[in-house]
Amino acid sequence: MRSDENVKLDKIKKITLKIDNPNILELGVQKGKSTKMFLDVCEKNDGYLTSIDIDDCSKILEHPKWNFIHSSDDNFEYINKLIKKDYDILFIDSLHEPNHIKKVFYNYFNFLKINGLIIIDDVIWLPYVKGEARDNDFSERINRLTFDQIIRIYNSNKENLSLEIDFTGSGLAILKKKNNQLNEDKKVINRMFTLKNLIKNVYAPKPKK
């Protein structure tokens, strides 16, 4: 059986394969699993991949359709001079921390074409809750916060972005850029903790027939 992570990579590959001459920007390389998948698509569809990692991953492979930038992906002063505003896909899989994700999202959004996709890895916490397969307090919390951050971005940008969430394993968020406008994120008002609704948790009247 294929692991959830491989199923997710297959899904990203299927999406990317629909694009002719895809120009891809990848944040986070490590051992190159997603990098190799994207390069496979670049070979098939005559595309090009640029990857960024804070660690030197330049030796993991050699490929004519690959450019590696050794830098923190939030060193915008350096990186923004090296890249052009013509990406079809932005894959965010570097530092899994909600503020960092927001920061890189807002910067690299400007480098995406209209209809370009932003794919964010690890946005679902279900495998990490107590008693589940990957039971882990830290990852549960970070993924919950990452999910909330994405919802906050979408909340103020419903005209500018589309959003799909894939719940496979630790999940993927897939956003499409509809135009060049991107508003500041906006907190989603939650009424679940008003006094009225907290009382309902204890005393929940049955609906009238």
Ligand X SMILES: C[S@@+](CC[C@H](N)C(=O)[O-])C[C@H]1O[C@@H](n2cnc3c(N)ncnc32)[C@H](O)[C@@H]1O
Distance CA 176, CA 96 (A): 21
In the bound complex, what is the minimum distance in angstroms from residue 158's beta carbon to ligand X?
29
78: left (phi over 0), alpha (psi -120 to 50) or beta: alpha
In the bound complex, what is the minimum distance in angstroms from residue 56's beta carbon to ligand X?
9
Cβ distance 30 to 58 under 8 Å?
A: no
For ligand X, the closer CB: 2 or 31: 31
The candidate with the shortest Cα–Cα distance to 176, out of 196, 154, 193, is: 154
Residues of this chain that bind ligand X (CB under 6 A) = 27-31, 33-34, 52-55, 72-74, 93-95
In the bound complex, what is the minimum distance in angstroms from residue 35's beta carbon to ligand X?
7
For ligand X, the closer CB: 120 or 157: 120
For ligand X, the closer CB: 82 or 198: 82
For ligand X, the closer CB: 83 or 155: 83
For ligand X, the closer CB: 53 or 140: 53
In the bound complex, what is the minimum distance in angstroms from residue 131's beta carbon to ligand X?
24
Angle at 154 between CA 196 and CA 9, to 5 degrees: 115
The candidate with the shortest Cα–Cα distance to 128, out of 162, 96, 81, is: 96
Number of helices and strands in the chain (H, E)? 6, 7
DSSP 194: S
Distance CA 3, CA 64 (A): 30
In the bound complex, what is the minimum distance in angstroms from residue 187's beta carbon to ligand X?
25
